[in-house]
Structure 1
């Protein structure tokens, strides 16, 4: 019982001590090579000086948006340009990427359909050529719709024409 009471009374004291521990000093010094160092403890045998004022790490937004002393008024604009994009810019970029993607998908679909059509056309040409090379009697309808039987010369001419179309269109 006494232990619980003592422990409960220590909790507020520990809570008050935590901020004091976080409020430590930072020391700066130069080494033999002239490089500046920072640490939370002063090294032994050096002329370390405590740093005064607010220290902002270089990678925070506050450090990025704070103009250097003596800089011109254009510095915040430069920081804004290199900083994160606004939601309007992000939305515009997203819509642009989506439009480009849609355009690419449409083009790919058209290319695929054109390739399928060409494959079908070439397959039909090859089939007709194989049929002509097998031989037999072939006919074509004339303007009146009647059958006109082809002579051997006409069959060879048709086969040559189909070979030329295959060579030209079906590479």
Structure 2
């Protein structure tokens, strides 16, 4: 009888964790057995095990609440970290694109022999060689400041 009680208590302790069927049968010696599979050489019946949920215990409920809060906090921190990383990647991609464009414009400026302005009449007014060099130098400085090159 004690063995039967121990098995019953064990099965009850599984409670919500156990979703498998429980079978009961009596052997040739009259002993009652419980198991998760029906026996091959004896008739058995499926037994429904009703266990109190773990939340019935106040300490278990508190532990579960703390664990839920901890997991929610971890998830929130993970989402914030991922958002920051995504934003940083996006900014780095924008910076790289800007630098590619600036470097392409610098290459073009270096290939141009002279620069000009358009006056009020719509005519070109070419700048001096010194002004050409100043324009190139200012643009190189801008590329260096922006791109670090």
- Paired residue for 2:29? 13
In 2, the alpha carbon distance for the partners of 1:162 and 1:105 equals: 36
Where do 1:139-150 residues align within 5 Å?
139=116, 149-150=126-127
C-alpha deviation, 1:92, in angstroms: 0.8
**Unpaired runs of at least 5, structure 2:** 1-25, 34-58
- Paired residue for 1:157? 134
C-alpha deviation, 1:140, in angstroms: 5.1
Q: Give the one of 108, 115, 131 matched to 2:108.
A: 131
Q: Give the one of 140, 145, 148 matched to 1:168.
A: 145
Where do 1:25-44 residues align within 5 Å?
none
Highest Rg: 1 or 2? Answer: 1
In 1, the alpha carbon distance for the partners of 2:27 and 2:66 equals: 49
Report the secondary structure of 1:86's partner residue. Answer: helix
Call closer, same or farther: CA 1:119–1:15 in 2, change over 3 Å: same
Contact 1:132 1:155 in 2 (8 A): no
Contact 2:109 2:136 in 1 (8 A): yes
In 1, the alpha carbon distance for the partners of 2:94 and 2:87 equals: 10
Report the secondary structure of 2:113's partner residue. Answer: coil
Contact 1:140 1:150 in 2 (8 A): yes
In 2, the alpha carbon distance for the partners of 1:109 and 1:141 equals: 44
Where do 1:31-70 residues align within 5 Å?
none
| Structure possessing the higher relative contact order (Cα contacts under 8 Å, 6 or more residues apart) | 2
In 2, the alpha carbon distance for the partners of 1:111 and 1:13 equals: 74
- Paired residue for 1:115? 92
In 1, the alpha carbon distance for the partners of 2:108 and 2:83 equals: 38
- Paired residue for 2:70? 93
Question: What TM-score results when the alignment is normalised by the length of structure 2?
Answer: 0.51
CA offsets, 1:35-87, max 9 Å, x none? xxxxxxxxxxxxxxxxxxxxxxxxxxxxxxxxxxxxxxxxxxxxx8xx9x711
| Aligned-residue RMSD, C-alpha | 3.2
